[in-house]
Amino acid sequence: MSRITATFVRLQKEGRKALIPFFTAGDPDPATCVPLMHALVAGGADILEVGVPFSDPMADGPVIQRSSERALKHGVSLRNVIGYVTEFRKTDTDTPVVLFGYANPVESMGLEAFAAAARSAGADGALIVDYPPEEARQLVETLDAAGLDTVFLLSPTTSEARLKQVAA
């Protein structure tokens, strides 16, 4: 059972909902990233969603867009974010970490290389926002082979059919 699944099972037994904060790695600066991860856990986070800065985060609103811009000005890349997860794992082996990003950096690294690096760093899953479920078979299979969970987004208007597809 993955750390993500184990966390949801535990929370269900406790009758609690998950607190899953998001932040863009490298904002406000790279040195803050790992201490922020630990602070979020100390503040009650059950799972961390670490944003990989991207130059064109069109699926995000203006706050996250500006956050990505600030992180990119610091030179933060996907490889840096994977390094932050590695550093975090030196002192926290329990809290699940999901990498949240866009397809371009992942595909530039190579899907298999990304999955291997993310797993080696101690990440638990990935949410690649511009991979819709119906186009994500290779992503899902590659992440699954590396022992990583694939996370998809749902909205209040998501159809029942799509909900079943994402939950499968």
Catalytic (active-site) positions? 49, 60
Contact 148, 126 (CB under 8 A): yes
